[in-house]
Structure 1
Amino acid sequence: MKNELKIGDKIPNFSLQDHNGKTFNSVTDLEGVTSVIYFYPKDESGVCTKEACAFRDSYQDFTAAGIQVIGINSAGIESHKQFAEKNNLPFRLLSDPGNKVIKQFGVKNALFLTGRETFVVNDKGIVVHKFRDFFKGEAHAKEVLQFLKPVK
């Protein structure tokens, strides 16, 4: 596994399918826009649902600031689609089979699950902020909004 990405590092190029079966390409879909990329262990688990819903509830704040939100884990497209529909998630969920992208970002596992970590990436693909807290999923959106306040 590669070392974890640090603030100032450029994110790796990757291409994944979203919950609607559309291809998301990091080079073209992240170019020129600040993005929040959050990695989470499992669709429909309690903490992951709270985390996704916190991003959903703050989504207007993110979009008003010109920021896109993207969630990533290893679940399949159909699982992501059901999770997004059930929880009215307005952002893209990307399927990362085999956890290839999570490993490229260097997100560390917690117990027997993949980790939970959020990255803020500027319009040039550089990590400008990151936050890791495995047990407080709902804290991720709040932490990122707090970081972004001076940027607005």
Structure 2
Amino acid sequence: MIAEGTPAPDFTLPDSEGRMVGLSSFKGKKVLLVFYPGDDTPVCTAQLCDYRNNVTEFTKRSIAVLGISADSPESHKTFAAKNQLPFTLLSDSSKKTAEAYGALGFLGMAQRAYVLIDEEGKVLLAYSDFLPITYQPMKDLLLRIDRA
């Protein structure tokens, strides 16, 4: 996983509408990158719905949430609509962004991970779960964010 305190690698990825979204466009804002293995799988759906259910907690902390997986923009569009996800999903089909953040697992799939980036583009928090069948409870994430 990328080291806390290091500069966050810039990236530009397509969203569910095919628009290109770059990390640099969030300069001056906190951003939470949420890496996950894939759309419409049981654990990933539970994970992303947990972020959806807690989106007001991120809004209160002025944090933009970006979900990232290797799935296509079309898959993201269907997945986001089906689960009413109120944040942007980005398609990392080349897996280069997951690799740059150290969130690429040994089987070539994105790990379940998050990276909190501060307003200046520095990594404040980084966490990766090596077991793809679980994810860190939201309560733990929010406590870590409040301490950062």
Q: TM-score, normalised by structure 2?
A: 0.91
- 1:131–1:140 Cα contact (<8 Å) kept: no
Partner Cα distance (1:99, 1:140) in 2: 25
Q: SS state of the match for residue 32, structure 1?
A: coil
125 and 43 in structure 1: CA distance in 2 versus 1, 3 angstrom threshold? same
Q: CA deviation at 1:27?
A: 1.0
- 1:35–1:122 Cα contact (<8 Å) kept: yes
Partner Cα distance (1:113, 1:96) in 2: 11
Deviation per residue, 1:118-143 (Å, 9 max, x gap): 11111111111112223323x25333
Residue 135 (1) aligns with residue 133 (2): yes
**Structure 2 residue identity aligned to 1:84:** A
Q: CA RMSD for the aligned pairs?
A: 1.6
Q: TM-score, normalised by structure 1?
A: 0.89
- 2:34–2:66 Cα contact (<8 Å) kept: yes
Partner Cα distance (1:101, 1:123) in 2: 19
Q: SS state of the match for residue 51, structure 2?
A: helix
Give ranges in structure 2 of 5+ residues lacking alignment: none
- 1:120–1:144 Cα contact (<8 Å) kept: no
140 and 100 in structure 1: CA distance in 2 versus 1, 3 angstrom threshold? farther
- 1:118–1:140 Cα contact (<8 Å) kept: no
Give ranges in structure 1 of 5+ residues lacking alignment: none
140 and 23 in structure 1: CA distance in 2 versus 1, 3 angstrom threshold? farther
Deviation per residue, 1:3-35 (Å, 9 max, x gap): x4100111111111111222101112x201111
Aligned positions of 1:1-152 closer than 5 A: 4-28=1-25, 30-109=26-105, 111=107, 113-133=109-129, 134-137=132-135, 139=136, 141-150=138-147
Q: Number of aligned pairs? A: 146
Q: SS state of the match for residue 32, structure 2?
A: strand
33 and 120 in structure 1: CA distance in 2 versus 1, 3 angstrom threshold? same
Q: SS state of the match for residue 83, structure 1?
A: helix
Partner Cα distance (1:92, 1:123) in 2: 18
Which segment is superposed worse, 65-74 or 17-26?
17-26
Identity of aligned residues (%): 32
Q: CA deviation at 1:114?
A: 2.5
